Amino acid sequence: MRVKKQIRLAIQSNAGGSGKTTMAVHLAYAIGVKGYKVTVIELDQSGSLKRFVGLEPAPPHKSMAKVLEKEFDGNYPFVSIWTDHLKTVNVLQGGASLEGSIQAIISTLASKYHVLAHCLEDYPIASDLIILDTPASLEPMGKVALAAATHVLIPIKPEFKDTDGAAELIRWYNNTVKELRLKPKPEIIGFVPTRVDLDFGPHKNILGVEREKGTGKVIRKKNVPEEETLPYYIQVLGYDCFPIVRESSEYINASGYGLPLQIHRPGNNAAKDLNPIVNRLLKTLRESI
Ligand SMILES: Nc1ncnc2c1ncn2[C@@H]1O[C@H](COP(=O)(O)OP(=O)(O)OP(=O)(O)O)[C@@H](O)[C@H]1O
Ligand SMILES: [Mg+2]
């Protein structure tokens, strides 16, 4: 561990398939390759993380279900990943056995949402960055993640309903911060439009951007009023909106090998879309050395 103050980044959104897990593993690689220690905690009972990192399903005693038990003794079932390429990234897998943890959380008092926060306080993980990969439904694991997080990143798939989605998520965030008395409250580092296809008209219009002919650079689309774009709306809500992450079949190809795009296709432009988020995280990590 290099930093004094660990970042715990919850990746949350109120929509399924917005690319949360993809974001989690690619950020984990990008920060891990810089020499920081990174742990990805999967709070999703679907257990989809395994596909992205080349693992088998975790049995209950080697999954987050064990960590969230009352009897947990601090012996985290870490599994190191991509070990041919780096030594800094490990995961704690979720999966089907989290179903029991979820039942336990929803059937007890509000303080139960602090189960992971308390666990990380009692048994600290010596990583610089912990990434909390959450399921599409915000209850209860979204709350468990928020209570344990220092920072939040919100991937958002640009669809017309997503201006409502963004406002709804912020409402949920504010209510949860209040309900769980989170002090200091986790900082929302920003929204990020994911799976963006700039050959698709509606995406161009919702985001107000297009690719410049020739260079392929993402530029403002002039005939779309800025006030009608999703990034503008997010700024009005008071939050940053990172540049787009493009839809690329390379992400799906890479996950077929259990690898991040940066290893599967070194130098591929799609992975560079994450640079602004990576740099934002590195800045906070560096400030804390
Ligand atoms: N930028 C992208 N370009 C193309 N495909 C992507 C991109 N991001 C994610 N995908 C693909 O979309 C699918 C859903 O992505 P992912 O599992 O990361 O979303 P999620 O938000 O974690 O979903 P869930 O809500 O089910 O947990 C996966 O097949 C993934 O490979
Ligand atoms: Mg997921």
Q: Output the tens digit of pLDDT for each of the chain's 289 residues.
A: 789 899 999 999 988 899 999 999 999 999 999 999 999 999 999 999 999 999 999 999 999 999 999 899 999 999 999 999 999 999 999 999 999 999 888 887 657 899 999 999 999 999 999 999 999 989 899 999 999 999 999 999 998 767 788 999 999 999 999 999 999 999 999 999 999 999 999 999 999 999 999 999 999 999 999 999 999 999 999 999 999 999 999 999 999 999 999 999 999 999 999 999 999 999 999 998 8
In the CATH scheme, what is the homologous superfamily, with its name and number, of domain 7-198+240-287? Answer: P-loop containing nucleotide triphosphate hydrolases (3.40.50.300)
Determine whether the shortest distance from the Cβ of 252 to ligand 1 is under 6 A.
Answer: yes
CA distances from 271 to 25, 61, 205, 265, 282 (A): 12, 34, 23, 9, 16
* pTM for this prediction: 0.93
Residue 2 Cα to ligand 1 midpoint, Å, equals 31
- CA nearest ligand 1 atom 27, residue: 135
Tell which atom from ligand 1 comes closest to the C-alpha of 196: 1
Determine whether the shortest distance from the Cβ of 247 to ligand 1 is under 6 A.
Answer: yes
Ligand closest to the CA atom of residue 19: 1
Ligand 1: which of 21, 197, 274 to mutate, judged by most atoms within 8 Å of the beta carbon?
21
Tell which atom from ligand 1 comes closest to the C-alpha of 255: 31
